[in-house]
Structure 1
Amino acid sequence: MHRSFQSSTDAYANLIETYAHDRALKPGKLLHAHLIVKGLAHLTYLATKLIAFYTECGQLSNARKLFDKIPKRDIHRWISIIRAYTRRGYYQEAIGVFTEMQTEGLGINKYLIPSVLKACGHVLDQETGKKIHCLCVKKSFESDAFITSSLIDMYSKCGQVEKAKKVFDGMFVKDLVALNAVVSGYARMGIVEKGLSLVEEMKLIGVKPDVVTWNTLIAGFSKKGDHLSVSKVFESMLDNGIEPDVVSWTSVISGLVQNFQYDEAFDTFKKMMKQGLYPSSATISSLFPACMNTVNLKHGKEVHGYATVIGVVADVYVKSALVDMYAKGGFISEAQTLFYKMSETSIVTWNSMIFGYANHGYCEEAIQLFEQMEKEGKKPDYMTFIAVLSACSHAGLIELGKSLFNSIQEKYEISLRVEHYACLVDLLGRAGKLDEAYDVIKTMPMEPDLFVWGALLGACRNHENIGLAELAAKHLRELEPGSKGNNLLLANLYADIGSWGNVEKIKTMMKKKRLRKFLGCSWIEGS
């Protein structure tokens, strides 16, 4: 099969890279076998290429086996696997290998630092990032522009934008990449005005903003719902000789959708089209969340059709957004069909489908899909467990739900969140295990929120437990003093058991405090 190729290592290396790019696992494995037969697979140069190939194909165990065969002191083995893991999004694994490297006493290599810092930023591992920063100072690596920019990006992603700015201020020669990283940090933290001020300041010393800078500012102001500032940034772009591109418009559309301004989002989409700009897969994906209610689902189907026409419907993010839209809209059959036709899925896609099943009564299917996900080696995240615990709660699967809850930290090493506890309280409460649900609340390592106490109060009404209901209502009043709904729920419980005196007390208290009732609303428009 490979006779036509030169037997030189460069030719083999190029072929491995091609297979990695195409994620062609079968021919890549055949080539690997061929190299073993030829006695070339042990060469570090080819072995590192094969590590990258297997990582690109998601075959981490094969990548690790090759890594373990290369001599430990060879720095290239460490560089190859950490870079490969980071490039493919296996950030936690990349940090793990780096930690292993330090344990082996191999120190730090400046060619590795940007990859490890990138991984730290993505998983918000600020502690490892800080340690690497200290090592960089000791080794005098801070003068390296790539390392400095990576430090700024890491701190920005971890929400430490002031530390990012401090690193930026210490740069002898400030460049555009570093500026964009700081501006991105400000935008992420919701203080985009500081980002704009920094851009204006840098213009004075000759660092000119590019389209990435302006788009970051547009995204930041759009997310805040500050449409006046968005318009001003658009004007500034044009004044600086830069035309707003599809990313600029997509940022505005995404911001409008996030702020529930769905009509304005569709209008902006139409304006973009009139400007002669064709939407990208990101533009299309950003519109689908605006189409999840009954009225706008018609628009969603139209956008789905348009995505098919322009050829972006095969994109994994577009398909994931479509699955999410149909699943949340209750069109489970459509979501299911799309999901099972996908050649590549992300954790977001799996979560959307599990949530869709759970929220519309297909609890057994939700649990089966979670089990299928595990069998296929997909790693669940914290959202996956919120979805599958909700399914257990609705289906009354107490023991399975408790087992899954315990596995979150023990088996999957995912930090428990307040949402997981709310799910467990709901699971136990629905089953009438109110004392056990309250015991869970008492042992929580964080403060219970509205959803935790709300789940207990709802369960107390269903099972007529006055004592715990009063306790839950007390905590809800402290957390949400202006809400009338929780007091009404308690009043209804008193009415159910015929305690009319307590009903009257609650109503009198509500009148005195003039509590507001949060009115229900309908998405269905009148004709």
Structure 2
Amino acid sequence: MLGSLCRSSDLASARSFFDSIPDKDVVSWSTMLACYFSQGRLAEGLAFFRTMTFTTQLAADYVMLVTVLTGCASAGLLPVSCRAIHGYVVRRGITFTMHLGTALIDCYAKAGRLDYASRVFCRVPLRNVMHWTAMICGTAAHLGSEKAIQLFEEMCQIGVQPNEMTFTAILSACGQAGLVDQGRKFFKLMVDTYGFEPTIHHYGCIVDLYAKAGKLEDAYEVIKTMRMEPNIIIWTSLLAACKKFKNFDIAVEGIGKVLSMEISEENGGLYALISDLYAMGGRWEDVLRVRSLMEERNVRKIRGSSSIKVGEPQDFTFPAVS
């Protein structure tokens, strides 16, 4: 019942039902906690987790800890919460399983604390490809693509076989730094040496790699030879590069494909991009047509916004183990 209410996104009813459960076990707490995080209620979820640790004798299990760490990582939360949960794991003598170790590494890495992430990584007893992939992602984001490539090559040298997620991470790292030759090498390695069939994510990374480097013909060739239909993200990457490098010839071939697809109302920026490309090519009638299409589909360009977190709780702690 609790899981059903949580899946219906009715948080108020789920919490009311949870409070009515006479003997709550770890599964009940974990289900309710996951409900908070799935709806982006991070602060309430963390407070709920602390309530369990302070008011009950229950100990968090691996599922609950991974849920909390994943929520912290997705929000880019400052490392104070990661450290508090890490301390809870150490004090309880909980073993770093594959999922728990990966979640903690990922949480620290996304918070920008590669020093802490590296410490956890080094202390994991049996490091596997998931731990390496989390470190590669964090290293690419905060220490640069060259460092991430070094880590990838070190992983391969010691005999840990990369998986599809690892190649997505390393191809994305190459795209961030414009390392076209390296990206080609890793894509070929993935297909020819490890025998992976490229997914939409791998193709997206390659298109983005070429597009950002100004190799628009190569990017468009990848799109035409893909084994699946390219998605909106891939087309947007190509069209944005066409605008940046002022290549209307390739852009106009992609615009027709995009306009034939179902574009969500929230993706008004894509219509604006297409309108700008038509204007760049001097096709003013098409500019008006796109603007009219936006009105017909009730699409509005969402204004840019940013957010900051105020008052990170410095006393985010858990009770000591007696």
Same fold (TM over 0.5): yes
Task: Kindly state the Cα deviation for residue 453 of structure 1 after the two structures are TM-superposed.
Answer: 1.0
Specify the alignment match of 2:215 in structure 1. 433
Task: Kindly state the Cα deviation for residue 366 of structure 1 after the two structures are TM-superposed.
Answer: 1.1
Specify the alignment match of 1:412 in structure 2. 194
Residues 252 and 456 of structure 1, relative CA distance in 2, 3 Å threshold: same
Counterpart CA distance in 2 for 1:418 and 1:521 is 29
Q: AA paired with 1:259?
A: Q
Counterpart CA distance in 1 for 2:173 and 2:124 is 23
Counterpart CA distance in 1 for 2:163 and 2:8 is 27
**Is 1:262 aligned with 2:42?**
yes
Counterpart CA distance in 2 for 1:252 and 1:416 is 37
Task: Kindly state the Cα deviation for residue 503 of structure 1 after the two structures are TM-superposed.
Answer: 8.9
Residues 374 and 399 of structure 1, relative CA distance in 2, 3 Å threshold: same
Residues 333 and 218 of structure 1, relative CA distance in 2, 3 Å threshold: same
**Is 1:249 aligned with 2:249?**
no
Residues 263 and 472 of structure 1, relative CA distance in 2, 3 Å threshold: farther
| Structure 1 runs (4+) greater than 6 angstroms displaced | none
Task: Kindly state the Cα deviation for residue 493 of structure 1 after the two structures are TM-superposed.
Answer: 4.5
Contact 1:425–1:456 at 8 Å: present in 2 too? yes
Contact 2:18–2:28 at 8 Å: present in 1 too? no
Residues 358 and 223 of structure 1, relative CA distance in 2, 3 Å threshold: farther
Q: Say which SS state the counterpart of residue 24 (structure 2) adopts.
A: coil
Counterpart CA distance in 1 for 2:209 and 2:216 is 10
Task: Kindly state the Cα deviation for residue 386 of structure 1 after the two structures are TM-superposed.
Answer: 0.6
Counterpart CA distance in 1 for 2:135 and 2:77 is 22
Among 136, 142, 150, the residue aligned to 1:360 = 142
Pick 1 or 2: higher relative contact order, CA cutoff 8 A, min separation 6.
2
Task: Kindly state the Cα deviation for residue 475 of structure 1 after the two structures are TM-superposed.
Answer: 3.2
Contact 2:248–2:281 at 8 Å: present in 1 too? no
**Is 1:305 aligned with 2:87?**
yes
Q: Say which SS state the counterpart of residue 63 (structure 2) adopts.
A: helix
Task: Kindly state the Cα deviation for residue 266 of structure 1 after the two structures are TM-superposed.
Answer: 1.7
Counterpart CA distance in 1 for 2:18 and 2:138 is 39
How many residues matched? 305
Task: Kindly state the Cα deviation for residue 374 of structure 1 after the two structures are TM-superposed.
Answer: 1.1
Task: Kindly state the Cα deviation for residue 314 of structure 1 after the two structures are TM-superposed.
Answer: 4.3
**Is 1:484 aligned with 2:294?**
no
Residues 312 and 219 of structure 1, relative CA distance in 2, 3 Å threshold: farther
Q: Deviations over 1:279-336 (max 9, x none)?
A: 1233222101222335554333332333333333745433321210121222233323
Task: Kindly state the Cα deviation for residue 260 of structure 1 after the two structures are TM-superposed.
Answer: 2.1
Counterpart CA distance in 2 for 1:416 and 1:504 is 36
Contact 1:225–1:256 at 8 Å: present in 2 too? no
Contact 2:136–2:151 at 8 Å: present in 1 too? yes
Q: Deviations over 1:394-434 (max 9, x none)?
A: 22222331232233233223232111111111111122221
Q: Deviations over 1:229-268 (max 9, x none)?
A: 6865886x75xxxx43223322332343233221332233
Out of 497-506 and 318-327, give the one that drifted further: 497-506
Task: Kindly state the Cα deviation for residue 516 of structure 1 after the two structures are TM-superposed.
Answer: 2.2
Q: AA paired with 1:312?
A: I
Counterpart CA distance in 2 for 1:259 and 1:470 is 39
Task: Kindly state the Cα deviation for residue 337 of structure 1 after the two structures are TM-superposed.
Answer: 3.2
Among 316, 333, 336, the residue aligned to 2:115 = 333
Residues 313 and 464 of structure 1, relative CA distance in 2, 3 Å threshold: farther
- So what's the TM-score if we normalise by structure 1? 0.52
Compute the RMSD of aligned alpha carbons. Answer: 3.1
Specify the alignment match of 1:72 in structure 2. none
Task: Kindly state the Cα deviation for residue 275 of structure 1 after the two structures are TM-superposed.
Answer: 3.0
Contact 2:2–2:17 at 8 Å: present in 1 too? no
Residues 290 and 421 of structure 1, relative CA distance in 2, 3 Å threshold: same
Task: Kindly state the Cα deviation for residue 510 of structure 1 after the two structures are TM-superposed.
Answer: 3.2
Counterpart CA distance in 2 for 1:372 and 1:448 is 33
Q: Say which SS state the counterpart of residue 413 (structure 1) adopts.
A: coil
Residues 503 and 267 of structure 1, relative CA distance in 2, 3 Å threshold: farther
**Is 1:377 aligned with 2:159?**
yes
Contact 1:418–1:448 at 8 Å: present in 2 too? yes
Counterpart CA distance in 1 for 2:89 and 2:10 is 29
The 5-angstrom pairing of residues 146-161 of structure 1 reads: none
Contact 1:246–1:278 at 8 Å: present in 2 too? yes
Contact 2:172–2:205 at 8 Å: present in 1 too? yes
- So what's the TM-score if we normalise by structure 2? 0.81
Counterpart CA distance in 1 for 2:27 and 2:128 is 22
Specify the alignment match of 1:522 in structure 2. 306
**Is 1:403 aligned with 2:190?**
no
Q: Deviations over 1:441-473 (max 9, x none)?
A: 111111111221122112212211113223334
The 5-angstrom pairing of residues 332-351 of structure 1 reads: 332-351=114-133
Q: Say which SS state the counterpart of residue 479 (structure 1) adopts.
A: coil
Out of 484-493 and 436-445, give the one that drifted further: 484-493
Q: AA paired with 2:262?
A: L
Counterpart CA distance in 2 for 1:311 and 1:502 is 68
Specify the alignment match of 1:394 in structure 2. 176
Counterpart CA distance in 2 for 1:356 and 1:265 is 24
Q: Deviations over 1:144-172 (max 9, x none)?
A: xxxxxxxxxxxxxxxxxxxxxxxxxxxxx
Counterpart CA distance in 2 for 1:318 and 1:300 is 12
Counterpart CA distance in 2 for 1:356 and 1:348 is 12
Residues 288 and 257 of structure 1, relative CA distance in 2, 3 Å threshold: same
**Is 1:276 aligned with 2:60?**
no
Counterpart CA distance in 2 for 1:365 and 1:427 is 18
Counterpart CA distance in 2 for 1:295 and 1:509 is 39
What are structure 2's unaligned runs of at least 5 residues?
312-322
What are structure 1's unaligned runs of at least 5 residues?
1-216
Q: AA paired with 1:275?
A: T
Task: Kindly state the Cα deviation for residue 500 of structure 1 after the two structures are TM-superposed.
Answer: 8.7
Residues 522 and 294 of structure 1, relative CA distance in 2, 3 Å threshold: farther
